[in-house]
Amino acid sequence: MAVDQLRADLLKNYDPLFVGGFRRLLDEGYRFENATHDHAVTTTAPGHTTLATGVHPTRHGVVGNSWSELEEGRWRNVYSLQDLDTEILGYPELPGRAPTNIYRAGLPDWIVANDPASRVVSISRKDRAAIGLAAKAAGDVYWLADEGGEFVTSDYYHAEYPAWITEFNATTMPLVYSDSVWESIIPTTALSLTRPDRSRFELDGEHTVFPHRASETVDASDPRALNHWRYEFTPFPDRAVFALATEAIRELQLGQRGSVDYLGISLSQTDLIGHNFGPRSREQLDNLLRLDVELGRFLSFLDEAVGPGRWVLGLSADHGVLDIPEHLAEQGVDASRLTRSDRRQLSRSIQDVLDNVDDEDEPAEAVKEAVLSLPFVAAAYTFDGVEQGQAIDSFQVLYGRSHSRTRIVGLAARSGVYARFGPNVLESSFLRTSHGSPYYYDRHVPMIFLGGTISAGVSSDRVATVDMAPTLAWLTDTPAPDDLDGTILERSLRR
């Protein structure tokens, strides 16, 4: 299970308020408080695929949510999980999705290889999360269509929808995905734990206060507009994901047939709400309280359907997030966002070098020196330097784990250079805040194991998200490849 954009400190900050699933994880689970993603490009697709495969992005191939590829001398943009030879069932106008761009098999593949009777299910609001957690496995993989307001898949996974999915979309979705108002459930005694509800740096600067009503921003009589509002700006899609996961356990008898089954669940709305309102907003706390309740119900259902001790859960996140830079600046922290002028300056600096470089010069080295002269660039690393492994600092190691010469991510990377901006510099100019940097706030995530024979405990050991897949494989007696980047956290969990 991955909670998209769940920075680790959020669970600690709101610990006293949790009464459901987070409460159970924190009290009964074994948690690692010093867990990080150990790659530089901290975005959704790399994070989920890393959790599932046990290797860094440079090895599983999903180095970004999208990247640039050079084709016949021209750059083209490639979405991480695109496969234009596939089709979304029922939505032929949408681009195809499949794990074609993933190089490595992952935990669900290992489980099926060990027992062909095992079943693989992966569900999320986001296609890149559902597919990333499923790795290469061709199981039941579903994600939420934006304006359609229903769960979909591609013909990579199914030739047609199973009857239970069609029934779920027709009968259950209208019950769990029909809200047009988002009201706060935060206790009044807890309001001081967040930022004030009104902030000109949240959302559009105007609709920042509870309750949030669809009718204030979209045409509420248009079902597609309403679905888009729910999809982009509310907690409600996660409730639908839990509902479908519950139905999958019932219909496919997951964990009830004598085989080890795999269920991947990614909860996406913490990410969307974080982007729009910031991680310390009242909206984010409300979202986490709702998630706590839904997770608690789901864990109770697992006990009822599968049985206590007969399931094991590994929970983490695909990345963290930066606080809204303007809010940090109000607190006296040196923080800013990359402006359009900054981007133009970066592009001009690179192009000037490339236009004037001599045949005997190394273009990447010259570009590196040019970008280092810019005030918002803290460091730069050439592809050659990253590949040679002679790290000039620990950040270069992280870039090496996100590195690809053929799948290019980053504003300077087309010229063979990774530019690291300063801490608390937001690269996005349109999101209220975001992630994607190699800094601790973007890499520090929860890692908690619950169920099976696991006893409650806390560890300050240094662990990484690549440890998730091999540890879950060990806990379920599933043979795993011996060339993983992650290790089994046996010493902590076997006490």
Clarify whether residues 411 and 465 are in a common domain: no
| pLDDT over 90 at 360, yes or no | no
For residue 63, tell me if it sits in a domain: yes
For residue 412, tell me if it sits in a domain: yes
Clarify whether residues 140 and 187 are in a common domain: yes
pLDDT of residue 390: 77
| pLDDT over 90 at 357, yes or no | no
pLDDT of residue 358: 74
| pLDDT over 90 at 372, yes or no | yes
Bridge-partner residues for 450, per DSSP? 313
For residue 427, tell me if it sits in a domain: no
Clarify whether residues 117 and 251 are in a common domain: yes
In angstroms, rounded to a whole number, what is the distance separating the alpha carbons of residues 60 and 199? 40
pLDDT of residue 256: 98
Clarify whether residues 360 and 270 are in a common domain: no
Rg of the chain taking only CA atoms, in angstroms:
22
For residue 431, tell me if it sits in a domain: no
In angstroms, rounded to a whole number, what is the distance separating the alpha carbons of residues 448 and 18? 16
Mind listing the pLDDT tens digit for each residue in 180-215? 999 999 999 999 999 999 999 999 999 999 999 999
For residue 434, tell me if it sits in a domain: no
Clarify whether residues 278 and 346 are in a common domain: no
* Strand duo 377-382 + 181-182: pairing: unpaired
Clarify whether residues 319 and 345 are in a common domain: no
Clarify whether residues 295 and 402 are in a common domain: no
Q: What are the structure tokens assigned to 284, written together?
A: 């984010």
Measured in whole angstroms, the distance separating CA 225 from the mean position of its chain's CA atoms is: 25
What are the backbone angles phi and psi of residue 154, rounded to the nearest 5°? -110, 170
Q: State whether residue 142 is helix, strand or coil.
A: strand
Bridge-partner residues for 411, per DSSP? none
Q: Which of 385, 205, 269 is nearest to 2 (CA)?
A: 269
pLDDT of residue 314: 98
Mind listing the pLDDT tens digit for each residue in 296-312? 999 999 999 999 999 99
Q: What are the structure tokens assigned to 298, written together?
A: 């789901």
In angstroms, rounded to a whole number, what is the distance separating the alpha carbons of residues 337 and 177? 35
Clarify whether residues 130 and 219 are in a common domain: yes
192 Cβ neighbours under 8 A, 6+ residues apart: none
In angstroms, rounded to a whole number, what is the distance separating the alpha carbons of residues 64 and 47? 9
* Strand duo 151-152 + 140-144: pairing: antiparallel
For residue 360, tell me if it sits in a domain: yes
Dihedral angle, C-alpha 255, 261, 267, 268, nearest 10 °? -160
Residue 336 half-sphere exposure toward CB, CA atoms < 13 A: 10
Element (H, E) at 293: helix 282-305
Clarify whether residues 115 and 249 are in a common domain: yes
- pLDDT confidence tier of residue 495, bands split at 50, 70 and 90: low
CB atoms under 10 Å from CB of 436, counted, come to 23
- pLDDT confidence tier of residue 359, bands split at 50, 70 and 90: low
pLDDT of residue 435: 97
Q: What is the pTM of this model?
A: 0.97
C-beta separation of 316 from 444 below 8 A: no
Among left, alpha and beta (phi > 0; psi -120 to 50; other), residue 259 is beta
pLDDT of residue 144: 98
For residue 433, tell me if it sits in a domain: no
- pLDDT confidence tier of residue 147, bands split at 50, 70 and 90: confident
pLDDT of residue 328: 97
146 Cβ neighbours under 8 A, 6+ residues apart: 227, 228, 231, 232
In angstroms, rounded to a whole number, what is the distance separating the alpha carbons of residues 154 and 160? 9
What are the backbone angles phi and psi of residue 447, rounded to the nearest 5°? -145, 110
Domain count, the chain: 2
Structural domain span for residue 402: 339-375+377-421
Q: What is the mean pLDDT of residues 142-164?
A: 96
- We report the CATH number of the domain holding residue 254 as 3.40.720.10
Concatenated DSSP letters of 213-279: EGGGTS-TT-HHHHHHHHHHHSSHHHHHHHHHHHHHHHHHTTTSSSS--EEEEEE-HHHHHHHHH-T
> Percent of the chain at pLDDT above 70?
99
For residue 432, tell me if it sits in a domain: no
Clarify whether residues 35 and 131 are in a common domain: yes
Clarify whether residues 160 and 27 are in a common domain: yes
- pLDDT confidence tier of residue 389, bands split at 50, 70 and 90: confident
Clarify whether residues 415 and 458 are in a common domain: no
Mind listing the pLDDT tens digit for each residue in 470-487? 999 999 999 999 999 999
